[in-house]
Amino acid sequence: MLERYEATQFTDEGVAKPVYVRGSGPAVIVIHEIPGITPEVVRFADWVVDAGFRVYMPLLIGKAGPPLTIGYVARSIAKLCISREFHILASHRSSPVTTWLRALARHAHEEAGGKGVGAVGMCFSGNFALSMMMEPALMAPVLSQPSMPFPFGAERRAALHVSPEEFQCVKDRCAKGDKVLGLRFKGDRMSPPEKFETLRRELGDAFEGIEIDDKYANPASPAPSPHSVLTVDLIDRDGEPTREAAKRVISFFQERLLVA
């Protein structure tokens, strides 16, 4: 499924990572979930390309292409836990990899042009789009089932995995008209409701949260419980709540990034 993507590499301050690029128009950074860039992540990226955007899809862990399996998930989580690029339990600081992602956003904006850049994070990367708002070019942040810090304890359940400086930047930008979009399944324990409650309390009407009943998750999903709104738990049929949520993400990018 990656045959139509250009396999590139982006380096910032000595850190190099693969990035898969396709399309034309304003840039959207699609940040995969655990375990890696699966076929369903590519499917969502294809929809973004078809809507008139240039997708930049970095590979942060795992591999590019293999489908989700329980074993693959376990291996990716193990790598996530020991990597210095990710602080999986940090409530009030972001993962170091977000610095590289902000640099990628600057690069993508310079290359693709347009009003600004969009970004969607999923699962462990869900809140990365908040930290990326420190980069002025990042204008359309989407948080799909944000999970970090992993929700062990009441504080972490409500925390957003951003530093006070980063979250103040988010609040300042939202006060001036910027928006944040979030997605989750209502019963998702890895992305608990307290995180959205924090966003609603702190950002007010600038935060749009879409919460989907678990009964609308894909029954054929390999995941043990509903979690991945835009990928394996999505039912690709018009009218399905998960498919409509994916459409809302794309319309959010269009509203924020395309010239009226």
Percent of the chain with pLDDT over 70: 100
Q: Which of 4-8, 69-73, 227-231, 252-256 has the lowest mean pLDDT?
A: 69-73
Tell me the per-residue pLDDT of 11-46, one tens digit each, with 9 for 90 and over: 999 999 999 999 999 999 999 999 999 999 999 999
Tell me the per-residue pLDDT of 182-216, one tens digit each, with 9 for 90 and over: 999 999 999 999 999 999 999 999 999 999 999 99
Half-sphere exposure of 36 (CA within 13 A, CB side): 22
Q: Which residue has the tokens 């103040």?
A: 168
168 Cβ neighbours under 8 A, 6+ residues apart: none
Give the chain's mean pLDDT.
96
77 Cβ neighbours under 8 A, 6+ residues apart: 34, 35
CATH architecture of the domain with range 6-257:
3-Layer(aba) Sandwich (3.40)
In the chain, how long is the greatest CA-to-CA distance?
46
Considering only CA atoms, give the Rg of the chain: 17
Tell me the per-residue pLDDT of 83-96, one tens digit each, with 9 for 90 and over: 989 998 898 899 99
Q: Is the pTM of this model over 0.85?
A: yes
pLDDT attached to residue 108:
98
pLDDT attached to residue 260:
64
